[in-house]
Structure 1
Amino acid sequence: MASGTTEDKLSACCLTEYRPLPGTPRGQIIKFAGVDTYFIEGNDQKSKGKVIVLLTDVFGLVKNPRIIADEVSQKTGMDVYVPDLFNGDALPSSFLKDAPDVPGEKKSFGLKLNFMGKLLTKVGPWMIRHRQGVTLPIVERFFKALRAERNASRIQSVGYCFGGLYTLLAGGPLHLADAIVGCHVSLMNKTHFEQLQVPAAFACAQEDDYFSDSFRTEAQQILARKSDIPSKFVLCDGTVHGFASRPNPDNPTIMAAFKQANDLIAEWATTHL
């Protein structure tokens, strides 16, 4: 295991982020388990051995997940890691320029057509390159290395959108995580909830095509039947998919929901790790 800072990557992340969160990342980029990883060390000695891992959305290891990692570490006192699951091949977050920002927002036909074009020409091939058969081994290797090389005794996995699937898998039969939090998760099905074996919390958007009201209700019912496993669903008003990782800093309602998601992550970690 080699480690070291890469200052140019810390600087470059701020240039490529669409509508970045305020602040400057305080952590460092290390090479861990074979991937570039953002790492922020916790300040609570009593929490050593307790680790939080953020699994990002399709936009990867740019500025926002680093700022989130810093905030979560400050709230919990724990070490936080954000691995680059895509080896530098993340989608540009500028893709969000054509996406709705608030519930019920209508887009022109031209913008909708442009968005659909991006889905077909960019997202489809990207999803093939980063299919489960490629990404899951990276996730498994990373979590196992945390226990073997960083003496992590308890791990909470936090997944955003794309990373939500792998957080659910980490909390299931793979036995990689001891607790999980999903933020506007996607790509999953009811089997992933049925197979959960650890305390699980979810920060959900008011309007989310990837985790609909009916699906969320079904997921809640599945976990409610698991009486021995704590679960919690928080529905954040005034939000759409992406609010917990790519909020609009100029919208107070969305930023309040963003804080609510970070508070949930911290609460779940301090309670279940």
Structure 2
Amino acid sequence: MTTATGLSPCCVTGHLHEGTPTGTVEKIADLDVYVSKPKDGSKAKTILFIADIFGWNTPNARLLADEYANAGFYVYVPDFFKGDNISHDMLQTIAPREPHKRSTLQVAADNASTMATFGPWAVRHREAVVKPLMDEFIKFLRTDPLTGKIGAVGFCWGGRYALVLAGEGSVDAAVANHPSMASEADFLSITKPTQINVGTNDIFLPNETVEQVKAALAEKKSDLPFEINVFQDAVHGFAVRGDISDAKEKENKEASANATLRWFNKYLV
């Protein structure tokens, strides 16, 4: 099995969504956290939302968290980067949405710019730094007697950590949306019900790799609920950064959100 790793300009493309988030910002476990609550305020079905490299304060992340809350989930979106997320401005400026249309010279310039930014960032937010923050946050949630089952949903960078948490069993279920920098072990080590959502045009998870992961999980995790949904023509980041003015991208974004809610409604009870 070959699993794509590393960073790509594809990670920094996308669109900011419009709307007014309705949640609140709280201080929890020494982290700033966006909290979106269901109407009844119940924590019976709790979601830990692990954002992509653009962080917890993009409108995209918060609006999606609100969508989950409106469906009956208590949602936490922690700032695991402690204010050091990649700038939202870079959504549009680091790389175009159609990188294949660039000249060779432009590709080289974009790649140099990308690595100059993401190389140091990735070092600052390596697993040895961010994973303890996640562990402490989940530990805090578990101390709350009102908290029921906990699901982790992650996007891109965060998608890989949703797999990691499902592997160690610290959450009760997980959804990994277009995970990036995930190894074969991350996929095959899951011990909790896990859903993976990926597009046919995802540079990090080529279609061949997706089929290999699916077959390997079916063989090694035959008794464990898992699901891999492949969205036609969807690119990396579609579940949170898709262009919702485009009918197909909006359809894929909404379908992945509905799949996430269906999964957690089934396994966070």
* TM-score (normalizing by structure 2): 0.88
- Once residues 218 and 44 of structure 1 are traced to their aligned partners in structure 2, the CA distance between those partners, rounded to angstroms, is 42
| Mapped pair 1:187 → 2:187 | no
| Mapped pair 1:95 → 2:90 | yes
Task: Name the counterpart of 2:210.
Answer: 216
- Once residues 185 and 19 of structure 1 are traced to their aligned partners in structure 2, the CA distance between those partners, rounded to angstroms, is 18
Other structure's SS at 2:203 match: coil
Residues 119-166 of structure 1, C-alpha deviations (whole Å, 9 max, x = no match):
221100000000000010011111111111363221110010111121
Residues 58-84 of structure 1, C-alpha deviations (whole Å, 9 max, x = no match):
110121100000011112x11011111
**Match for residue 205 of structure 1 among 193, 199, 202:** 199
- Once residues 200 and 145 of structure 2 are traced to their aligned partners in structure 1, the CA distance between those partners, rounded to angstroms, is 38
- Once residues 141 and 24 of structure 2 are traced to their aligned partners in structure 1, the CA distance between those partners, rounded to angstroms, is 17
Question: Conserved in 1, the CA contact under 8 Å of 2:14 and 2:243?
Answer: no
Question: Conserved in 1, the CA contact under 8 Å of 2:51 and 2:77?
Answer: yes
Instruction: Report the Cα offset of residue 222 of structure 1.
Output: 2.2
Question: Conserved in 1, the CA contact under 8 Å of 2:14 and 2:242?
Answer: no
Amino acid at match of 1:106: K
| Mapped pair 1:155 → 2:189 | no
Question: Conserved in 1, the CA contact under 8 Å of 2:15 and 2:91?
Answer: no
- Once residues 125 and 150 of structure 1 are traced to their aligned partners in structure 2, the CA distance between those partners, rounded to angstroms, is 40
Amino acid at match of 1:213: N
Other structure's SS at 1:227 match: coil
Amino acid at match of 2:231: C
Task: Name the counterpart of 1:253.
Answer: 248
| Mapped pair 1:25 → 2:21 | yes
Question: Conserved in 2, the CA contact under 8 Å of 1:18 and 1:93?
Answer: no
Number of residues paired by the alignment? Answer: 253
- Once residues 186 and 81 of structure 2 are traced to their aligned partners in structure 1, the CA distance between those partners, rounded to angstroms, is 22
Task: Name the counterpart of 1:142.
Answer: 137
- Once residues 71 and 117 of structure 1 are traced to their aligned partners in structure 2, the CA distance between those partners, rounded to angstroms, is 37
Amino acid at match of 2:158: G
Runs of 4+ displaced beyond 4 Å:
none
For structure 2, the residue ranges without an aligned partner over 5 or more in a row are 1-12
Task: Name the counterpart of 1:9.
Answer: none
| Mapped pair 1:171 → 2:171 | no
- Once residues 129 and 149 of structure 1 are traced to their aligned partners in structure 2, the CA distance between those partners, rounded to angstroms, is 31
Task: Name the counterpart of 2:32.
Answer: 36
| Mapped pair 1:263 → 2:263 | no
Other structure's SS at 1:172 match: helix
- Once residues 146 and 238 of structure 1 are traced to their aligned partners in structure 2, the CA distance between those partners, rounded to angstroms, is 37
Q: Residues 99 and 202 from structure 1, CA distance in 2 versus in 1: closer, same or farther, beyond 3 angstroms?
A: farther
Instruction: Report the Cα offset of residue 192 of structure 1.
Output: 1.3
Alignment of 1:25-64 (within 5 A): 25-44=21-40, 48-61=43-56, 62-64=58-60
- Once residues 144 and 110 of structure 2 are traced to their aligned partners in structure 1, the CA distance between those partners, rounded to angstroms, is 43
**Match for residue 244 of structure 1 among 239, 244, 262:** 239
Alignment of 1:222-241 (within 5 A): 222-225=216-219, 226-241=221-236
Instruction: Report the Cα offset of residue 37 of structure 1.
Output: 0.6
Q: Residues 93 and 211 from structure 1, CA distance in 2 versus in 1: closer, same or farther, beyond 3 angstroms?
A: farther
- Once residues 261 and 108 of structure 1 are traced to their aligned partners in structure 2, the CA distance between those partners, rounded to angstroms, is 33
Identical-pair percentage: 31
Residues 177-230 of structure 1, C-alpha deviations (whole Å, 9 max, x = no match):
111001110111111122100111111011112112222112111221212111
Alignment of 1:104-115 (within 5 A): 105-115=100-110
